[in-house]
Amino acid sequence: MPKFIEALKEKNPNQDEFIQAVEEYYESVYPIIEATPRYQKNKILERMTEPERVIIFSVPWIDDKGEIHVNRGYRVQMNSALGPYKGGLRFHPSVNLSILKFLAFEQISKNALTSLPLGGGKGGADFDPKGKSDLEVMRFCQSFMNELFRHIGNYTDIPAGDIGVGGREIGYLFGKYKRIKNQFSGVLTGKGINWGGSLIRPEATGYGLIYFAKHMLENQGSQLKGKRCLVSGAGNVAQYAIEKLIDLEAKVISVSDSTGFIIDENGFTREKLDLLMEVKNERREGLESYAAEFDDLHFQAHDYDPDASLWKTKADCAFPCATQNEIGEADAKDLIENEIRLVAEGSNMSCTNEAIRILQESGVLYAPGKAANAGGVAVSGLEMSQNSQRVGWSREKVDSELQNIMKHIHGQCLSYAQKNNKPNNYLAGANIAAFFKVADAMIDQGVV
Ligand code: NDP
Ligand code: 2IT
């Protein structure tokens, strides 16, 4: 094991996800660091993997029955070489320091790839919004912001959404920040469209993912039209990935959530997607309720047969859009057996490092989340620009900027992969392209 990773493990015990993310990055960038004395001398990797600041705080709140609960809140301010800290907030019972550090670490590279002036951060809480009333969620968000407000600001740190944090939560968080600071500012992104949000922000991650995949296929002389596509997840990213795939005449044959999955051999239609959005976003129910509306759809609960998996289905392209490590070694082998051609990550770190290796060795086109799902934070960056200028751009303008950014990220991945003798290795290309930007900025700014 490389000395650097050994030391990292020692310094960060029990942070498996964080170590996983750094190991994946290290493999791409260590040849460059070894060949470049100033990156070694400046201890770039050591500094990049130590968060500039971590805030951990208690979030007490009262449920509708009057009972008191306490959750743990976090903000990991990872790196500000390129701009103020930027990254989402995740509310999920699994949230811990390791998960937020991996997300914040990946966010550094992702934000660098957008070419916008954004540093990297992430935060959240081990709070489960599931089954809570709107009032409970509001009280939780207000308590969370009662502490977080001290550490953020439109020139300091600009949080946004992630798993469990959508428009509703951003609204409550913004309202509380505005009241405490007596300031209406662009301190959060993903805001409502009539109070400072950007058009296309809700769609941006899913649309951007599919724009990216379209370039990957076009670069091989192929296209999305007619391709059988697997999508996992049923939240924000999955929904708009499905929408864009339908637009481009691909056939979407799966969807999943934390309760189970559905294989739909007839393919998603706009009408089905509308219903999925109603079930997930308005009724806030599980996929079983969605399947119940159709005679030909079968809902497969995860706990019914733990060996069943949507990745066992024959398809051309796979778009994991639920959570980290949702594609492991066995899943990668299943995908390859079924002749998958492309895997593009909507979720952050969808694939384990072993799964990535297996996919790449089999010649599958693989794109990491830090490149393929950067459309969300990119439009967050555009939301910040609109807020600063006190203007609101049209859908067409934002969508066209998003398309340009995704095309540019795709181009950077390919060219840095090529320059480093790893043709079509989007992971190496993304890591190396981002490394140069962040490392050089850190050196320019001195040891601070
Ligand atoms: P949502 O909360 O809207 O949706 C998440 C979906 O994934 C839900 O369907 C959820 O199931 C499912 N899910 C979450 N955790 C698990 C789990 N442990 N096991 C099984 N299923 C799970 O989040 P988003 O769509 O925003 O985020 C999805 C992924 O995309 C995350 O990895 C996030 O980091 C990443 N991402 C998000 C961006 C954004 O702009 N929102 C930007 C870039 C990346 P259920 O419905 O049952 O809760
Ligand atoms: O993982 C991500 O890039 C996000 N959750 C979006 C971050 C943002 O600031 O819009």
Q: What is the per-residue pLDDT across 3-50, written as a single tens digit (0 to 9) for each?
A: 999 999 999 999 999 999 999 999 999 999 999 999 999 999 999 999
What CA–CA distance (Å, rounded) separates 403 from 395?
12
pLDDT exceeds 90 at position 184: yes
Helix segments in 68-200, DSSP class H: 97-113, 134-148, 167-181
What spacing in Å lies between the alpha carbon of 115 and ligand 2's midpoint? 15
Q: What is the mean pLDDT of residues 329-346?
A: 98
- Choice from 95, 111, 205 to test ligand 2 binding pocket (greatest atom count within 8 A of CB): 205
For residue 36, report the phi and psi dihedrals to the nearest 5 degrees.
Answer: -130, 100
CA dihedral 291, 292, 294, 299 (to 10 degrees): 40
Q: Within the chain, how many helices (H) and strands (E) appear?
A: 17, 13
Residue 72: how many CA atoms within 13 Å on its side-chain side? 10
Percentage of residues of the chain with pLDDT beyond 70: 100
pLDDT of the residue at 395: 98
Residue 435 banded pLDDT, cuts 50, 70, 90: very high
Considering the entire predicted model, what is its pTM? 0.98
Percentage of residues of the chain with pLDDT beyond 90: 98
Q: Is 315 in the pocket of ligand 2 (CB under 6 A)?
A: no
406-434, pLDDT tens digit by residue? 999 999 999 999 999 999 999 999 999 99
What spacing in Å lies between the alpha carbon of 284 and ligand 2's midpoint? 22
Helix segments in 12-96, DSSP class H: 16-35, 37-41, 44-48
Looking at the annotation, which residues are catalytic? Answer: 122
What spacing in Å lies between the alpha carbon of 136 and ligand 1's midpoint? 21
What spacing in Å lies between the alpha carbon of 79 and ligand 2's midpoint? 15
Residue 368: how many CA atoms within 13 Å on its side-chain side? 31
Q: What is the DSSP-derived secondary structure letter of residue 351? A: B
Q: What is the mean pLDDT of residues 118-134?
A: 98
Q: Which ligand is nearest to the CA of 188?
A: 2
Given the CA of residue 377, which atom of ligand 2 is nearest to it?
Answer: 10
| Pairing outcome for strands 228-231 and 53-62 | unpaired
Q: Which residues of 19-40 are buried (b: 16+ CB within 10 A; e: fewer)?
A: bbbbbbbbbbbeebbeeeeebe
H or E segment and range at residue 246: helix 236-247
What CA–CA distance (Å, rounded) separates 375 from 204?
5
Residue 70 banded pLDDT, cuts 50, 70, 90: very high
Mean pLDDT, the chain, rounded, equals 98
What CA–CA distance (Å, rounded) separates 428 from 24?
9
Residue type, 222: S
Count CB-CB contacts under 10 A for residue 223: 13
Contact 341/317 with Cβ under 8 angstroms? yes
Residue found by looking up tokens 């300091």 in the block: 156
Q: What is the mean pLDDT of residues 110-116?
A: 98
Contact 263/226 with Cβ under 8 angstroms? no
What CA–CA distance (Å, rounded) separates 240 from 256?
14
User: 358: closest CA among 330, 324, 317, 320?
Assistant: 330
Distances (CA, A) of 384 to 67, 110, 355, 361: 38, 17, 36, 40
84-104, pLDDT tens digit by residue? 999 999 999 999 999 999 999
pLDDT of the residue at 354: 98
What CA–CA distance (Å, rounded) separates 272 from 277?
9
Torsion sign, CA atoms 207, 213, 217, 218: positive
Q: Is 243 in the pocket of ligand 1 (CB under 6 A)?
A: no
Q: Is 111 in the pocket of ligand 1 (CB under 6 A)?
A: no
CA-closest residue to ligand 1 atom 5: 235
For residue 174, report the phi and psi dihedrals to the nearest 5 degrees.
Answer: -65, -45
What CA–CA distance (Å, rounded) separates 411 from 363?
19
Residue 306 banded pLDDT, cuts 50, 70, 90: confident
- Residue 427 corresponds to which tokens in the numbers above? 């992971």
Given the CA of residue 111, which atom of ligand 2 is nearest to it?
Answer: 3
Torsion sign, CA atoms 402, 404, 407, 411: negative
Given the CA of residue 110, which atom of ligand 2 is nearest to it?
Answer: 3
Length of the chain: 448
Q: Is 124 in the pocket of ligand 2 (CB under 6 A)?
A: no
pLDDT of the residue at 315: 98
Torsion sign, CA atoms 361, 227, 431, 101: negative
- Residue 418 corresponds to which tokens in the numbers above? 């090529």
pLDDT of the residue at 49: 98
- Choice from 168, 323, 326, 379 to test ligand 1 binding pocket (greatest atom count within 8 A of CB): 323
Torsion sign, CA atoms 242, 245, 249, 255: negative
Contact 104/73 with Cβ under 8 angstroms? no
Q: Is 346 in the pocket of ligand 1 (CB under 6 A)?
A: yes
- Directed axis angle between helix 167-181 and helix 134-148, to 10°? 50
pLDDT exceeds 90 at position 249: yes
368-402, pLDDT tens digit by residue? 999 999 999 999 999 999 999 999 999 999 999 99
pLDDT exceeds 90 at position 296: no
